[in-house]
Amino acid sequence: MSETKSKVAVITGGGSGLGQSVAIKLAESGINISIVDISEKAGQETITLLKPYGINAIFIQADVSRAEDVKTYVDRTVEHFGTIDMFFNNAGISGPGTLFAENTIEQINQVVGINLLGGLYGIKYVLEVMLKQGGGSIVNTSSTAGLVGQATVGSYSATKHGVIGITRTIAVEYADKGIHINAIAPGTTETPMVRQYRLDNPETFQTVENAIPQRRLGQPEEIADLVAFLLSDRARYINGAVIPIDGGFTAQ
């Protein structure tokens, strides 16, 4: 039996892409999981994929841009499991894929609401639980667009820079309270969101792909390996780090 058998993880955006891959990776270690997603269909698909691992997994539908929904998924997770030990703060959208002046106010608000405010709300409410129980681990999903400027993703880039800022701040504020928090900065990864972006912006996407030194997209399973490690006790002295996983893109 795994030593992490009784631990509980919350994963936002758990219905597909990185969230789903991380859920499977954690389930392999016997970790119980609360899957959060705005899509009930996608969330339930992940729950189905987790059944063979014999863990306790629940789905909670939520719009992370709404603070009341975020509080609800945290409260329901604690009601069901009694604890939250790990938090993969991952839900996000890419935005319209146009130059910033062409974005509508509604598009800007949607990206900021989900990617930045949703992440901040999640940290706030999960942190309250973790502080009461004496600690926990958090991984936030940033992006290479949170490290360098990238054309056509202005609002997205702004939110991902913000994710890095809150990661470093929480690490400084709560390291002595048993909290370790880090951010990943994935490059272009083969997820449903990226596949849709490729369809919507084929010329821009080809330029992005050609700029990756390894000349390929990342795979969700590769990101999941890193996230699972950062959430584990093996990474407890890694705190406030931002780790690119991008095939060498930001090393250029």
- Report the catalytic residues: 156
Contacts (Cβ under 8 Å, ≥6 apart) of 225: 25
CB 121 within 8 A of CB 64: yes
Helix (H/G/I), strand (E/B), else coil: 95: coil
Phi, psi (rounded to 5 degrees) for 3: -70, -15
> What order do you get walking across the sheet with 136-141 strand by strand?
57-61, 32-37, 8-12, 86-89, 136-141, 179-186, 242-245
